[in-house]
Amino acid sequence: MTQTLLAFDVYGTLINPNAMAEVLRPTLQDQAESVAAQWRASQLQLSFRRGLMGRYVEFSVCTRDALDVAIAAHELEVDQATRDDWMAAYSRLPAFEEVDGALASLVAAGYRCVAFSNGTEKAMQQVLEHAGLAHHFDALVSVDDIKRFKPDPVVYHHLSRRMKVAHDNAWLVSSNNWDIQGARHAGMKAAWIHRDRTALIEDPSLAPNLEVDKLDELADKLAGMR
Amino acid sequence: MTQTLLAFDVYGTLINPNAMAEVLRPTLQDQAESVAAQWRASQLQLSFRRGLMGRYVEFSVCTRDALDVAIAAHELEVDQATRDDWMAAYSRLPAFEEVDGALASLVAAGYRCVAFSNGTEKAMQQVLEHAGLAHHFDALVSVDDIKRFKPDPVVYHHLSRRMKVAHDNAWLVSSNNWDIQGARHAGMKAAWIHRDRTALIEDPSLAPNLEVDKLDELADKLAGMR
């Protein structure tokens, strides 16, 4: 019997981008949360926009541009060396606390786990190594292979082709509502991790197949769906 | 000699979406600005995301979904009738103050003016009639004709085909930095109206050909570029 594939989104799902607020705080004080939130929102907006334009760049370019956008929108003065430090901190972001144990359980239970990100393979490798998670994965699958961004459907099809699985034997696992909807639109199953309780599935026809609060509930829930 | 075509973006360029904050204020008080800002940002994000997914809907669906997103993110309780009222107010948004006079001058100077929006032709007609601007335009060109969203390059090519002009004789006029970059990527000329002084051109290779603070400076600047 073919192993079920679990494809984990990285930023927001395994790795906590909100931790950037702590990196910004010594410089930005009480604006740190607001700048970090806009940095993340602009990073996504820029990747969607570039994807729609057909003007792909490595995701780190979107991340860098989004930092500039967030700083400009807050009308702050931040020198280049500080911006470089913050970009470097992006590859040292921590994992959410339950992730390491949850991935170990899922691998032990026989699931085949891969990381699947808008980041490059090198960026994924760095952040997952630093967070002590890299050893759980059979493969790191980046959209950079085909120069398109999630949630373009071709990216999800690339995942299943590359891992040699049928879409109905593959799950996307993500905390990102847009990633869940992208996977469902492309015909994959999807498990939504509720890290943001206020996020919506804007298109109800693309609802996830499964919802959990934390990754460590995933093994039980998946077992219950068989 | 062929008339130069000026294609005006509608929301943000001619019509002021920030005025929605005043519509929300009686209900939301000091959260009105924040909800209105997120409403607008989510509307754009949802249109880019749906464009990237190849899952087009009328722009008003993105607007409605984005209102729900902004309300949920602020953890507010707002009943359906109130949401319907706010959506209806979207078609009664005011023009920026210099727009009517500026359009009249440009038409008098011999420019051929069209409105060019992610909104449907009907939505454009409503909001431009209400704001007293509709009579300035030769045509209302909507992305709905081809079921894609700006800044997908096919939308800008549709404009020039529909208006029977060469790209190098057509200007996009927009306050939206993403629209400027989309037009430049597609080979059009672009004039950027600086309604938001903190906005960036994230991709310097897609810089506008011309920048002005208000629309009434456009005729002089265009004359200077001949």
Q: Nearest to residue A106, comparing CAs of A18, A193, A186?
A: A193
Do residue A9 and residue A63 come from a single domain? no
Mutate to test the interface with B, among A38, A50, A53 (most CBs of B within 10 A): A53
Do residue B190 and residue B146 come from a single domain? yes
Mean of pLDDT values over B13-30: 95
Residue B166 pLDDT > 70: yes
Do residue A115 and residue A61 come from a single domain? no
Residue B226 pLDDT > 70: no
**A187 interfaces chain B, CB cutoff of 8 Å:** no
Residue B177 class from Cβ within 10 Å (0-12 exposed, 13-18 middle, 19+ buried)? Answer: buried
Do residue B29 and residue B110 come from a single domain? no
Mutate to test the interface with A, among B34, B75, B202, B203 (most CBs of A within 10 A): B202
Cβ distance A149 to B182 less than 8 Å, yes or no, reads no
Do residue B116 and residue B58 come from a single domain? no
Cα A127 from Cα B173, distance rounded (Å): 42
Do residue B203 and residue B140 come from a single domain? yes
Do residue B66 and residue B41 come from a single domain? yes
ipTM of the predicted assembly exceeds 0.85: yes
Closest chain A CA to residue B49? A48
- Domain that residue B60 falls in: 17-92
State pLDDT tens for residues B66-103: 999 999 999 999 999 999 999 999 999 999 999 999 99
Do residue B212 and residue B104 come from a single domain? yes
Q: Which domain-ending residue is among B46, B77, B92? A: B92
Cβ distance B202 to A46 less than 8 Å, yes or no, reads yes
Split into its structural domains, chain B has a count of 2
Which residues numbered 42-71 in A keep a CB inside 8 Å of some CB on B? 44-46, 48-49, 51-55, 65, 68-69
Q: Which domain-ending residue is among A92, A127, A150? A: A92
**B73 interfaces chain A, CB cutoff of 8 Å:** yes
AA identity, residue A156: Y
B79 is catalytic: no
CATH of the domain at B133: 3.40.50.1000
Angle between helices A177-185 and B32-53 (to 10 degrees): 30
Q: Which domain-ending residue is among B92, B119, B153? A: B92
Cβ distance A55 to B149 less than 8 Å, yes or no, reads no
Query: Are the C-beta atoms of B209 and B189 separated by less than 8 Å?
Result: yes
Work out the mean pLDDT of chain B and round it to a whole number: 96
CATH of the domain at A55: 1.10.150.240
Do residue A41 and residue A64 come from a single domain? yes
Cα A203 from Cα A209, distance rounded (Å): 14
Do residue B84 and residue B124 come from a single domain? no
Do residue A75 and residue A100 come from a single domain? no
Residue B32 pLDDT > 60: yes
Residue of B65, B72, B199 lying closest to A198 (CB–CB):
B72
Band (pLDDT 50/70/90 cuts) for residue B4 is very high
Band (pLDDT 50/70/90 cuts) for residue A226 is low
Do residue A88 and residue A171 come from a single domain? no
**A203 interfaces chain B, CB cutoff of 8 Å:** yes
Cβ distance A45 to B46 less than 8 Å, yes or no, reads no
